[in-house]
Structure 1
């Protein structure tokens, strides 16, 4: 009645359609998530915790540079 090649082709097309639909739903969800993140970022003022963390990181980097300069000049700490 049906050729096995036709059955395989139809099954492949159905599988492709299901996969494409799932990817599209995931893509739309990811876009919605990013839109919410951008909306939250614009409505809130800059947070102090991120600024404080950046200052601590800069301070740590400066201390590392001082140590490396001391090692390079031959001074023990």
Structure 2
């Protein structure tokens, strides 16, 4: 009967454990990607209130208000 070397057994167990961990991580990654695809397909992300404008929209509105204020000041003859 052949003797199995302990280093070979340890390496085989480590390889099996690494394979299992990798497969579990891959499954989690695929599920997460699928969740994100479904969120994109639905047109919104989790936790976003549709009544609240996006940050980009708020910045654009603030910029337009500032431009309007400046134009009104120019029309009134006020130096800025």
Fold shared, TM-score > 0.5 on shorter chain: yes
Q: Deviations over 1:7-51 (max 9, x none)?
A: 001001101100110010000011011001101117xxx922446
* Larger-gyration structure (1/2): 2
Q: Who is 2:29 aligned against?
A: 27
Name the structure where helix makes up a greater proportion of residues: 1
TM-score, normalized by length of structure 1?
0.56
Counterpart of 2:16 in structure 1 is 14
Question: Across the two proteins, how many residue pairs are aligned to each other?
Answer: 58
Structure 2-normalised TM-score? 0.54
Take 1:7 and 1:29, find their aligned partners in 2: how far apart are those partners? 33
